[in-house]
Amino acid sequence: MTGLWTQTAVTQTRFRPDAVGQLLQLWHEVMPGDAPSAARFRDLALLNPAFRPDGLIMLWRGEHLIGFGYAIAGEPAGTAPGGPHGWLAGLGVAAAERGRGHGSRLLQSCLQYLRGAGCAVADLGGNGERYLLPGADAAAYPEFRGLIEAAGFRAAGSTQAMHCDLTGLPPEPAASRRGRYRYRHPGDGDLPELLTVAGGFSAGWAGLIRSYLGRTEHAENLWIARGPDGIAGFAGSDLFPGCPGRFGPMGVVPAARGHGAGSRLLRLSLASMAGRGRQSAWFLWGPEGESGRRMYASAGFQVSRQFDFFRLDLHEPRTPGPAQKGSRDE
């Protein structure tokens, strides 16, 4: 039976609308800790203005999906000279189909798509809040990292995932005035200022908050610190569709730092998450500096994973060669 199955022709297609279920099932099989839920895939892929069916490549044996590659051209995160920015946002091959060159085939098809779209570089990871794949976790997926390195991708940075156990978290005292700030959920009248403050940190943060508020009548997953000069800081949790337990974003305006607003907003958010039944909270570490790391550590966060970023210059000629030692072609 296995022999007859492997003799079935392998074909490659663009995204097929009837195959979303198969795609998500395969994604969960090959990357169980990082595959998107249906809601997250809808939000970050299908509703992404940069989504193109030609960029989501599917590999089939008969009518059975055995592999996929997802590339995005022109996503607005980051800058790249010489053309639109390109991203490798997903890649996977069914375990039973590995060792036949399918991973390399899919990866090269993704890169060909990005070149055809005029992209100067292809990045893996480092694309802010709107990622599907935060980077390469060498501990969890060593074969994947070996595959992209063999294709010419080079290290370009890293980030860490931080995790906090919320079970047994003592309730935080009721939100009220503390020091110079009053801590509460934002009301409708606060929203224009909140979006302006969030946008000062990242346009993506403002967009995320706007999207969340468009899906709910209440702002219970958001906290603000309001002082005499307006909103001094904010924190959110569970704002991303299909991404339960994710803390953030959080920001305190420079003039208000050093007065405990960030720590207070963090603890109020974690207490709210525990109150909603969350067992844990997590986020990807950003450039908050040593004081930020101490603040998160004091609240119980610990580093749980590391994701490495990679970049490939799509204009650089590359001579095909053997895979690097230790890598395995998927």
Same-domain status, 77 and 176: no
Is 48 a member of any domain? yes
How far CA 117 is from CA of 86, 110, 125, in Å, comes to 9, 11, 19
Instruction: Report pLDDT digits (tens) over 153-166.
Output: 999 988 888 999 99
Q: How far apart are CA 197 and CA 265, in angstroms?
A: 15
Same-domain status, 102 and 57: yes
Same-domain status, 85 and 116: yes
If we measure between CA atoms, which residue out of 20, 32, 34 comes closest to residue 125? 34
pLDDT for 48 equals: 87
Same-domain status, 240 and 213: yes
Is 69 a member of any domain? yes
Helices then strands, counting H and E runs in the chain, come out as 9, 13
Instruction: Answer whether 231's CB lies under 8 Å from 190's CB.
Output: yes
Is 319 a member of any domain? no
Same-domain status, 203 and 142: no
Residue 248 belongs to what domain range? 168-278
If we measure between CA atoms, which residue out of 212, 201, 192, 179 comes closest to residue 251? 201
Structural domain tally of the chain? 2
Instruction: Report pLDDT digits (tens) over 179-231.
Output: 789 999 999 999 999 999 999 998 889 999 998 998 888 899 999 999 999 99
Is 192 a member of any domain? yes
User: In degrees, to the nearest 5, what angle opens at C-alpha 244 toward C-alphas 282 and 160?
Assistant: 25
Same-domain status, 66 and 43: yes
Under 8 Å CB-to-CB from 82, ≥6 apart: which residues?
120, 315
Q: How far apart are CA 191 and CA 187, in angstroms?
A: 7
Q: How far apart are CA 106 and CA 88, in angstroms?
A: 11
Same-domain status, 193 and 93: no
Same-domain status, 132 and 238: no
Q: What is the mean pLDDT of each run of 10 residues along the chain (330 residues)?
A: 65 96 96 89 90 96 96 64 80 94 96 94 80 88 91 91 88 70 94 96 90 88 94 94 88 90 93 92 76 86 91 74 43
Same-domain status, 22 and 111: yes
pLDDT for 325 equals: 37
Same-domain status, 103 and 230: no
Same-domain status, 131 and 255: no
Same-domain status, 233 and 152: no
Which domain CATH number covers 255?
3.40.630.30
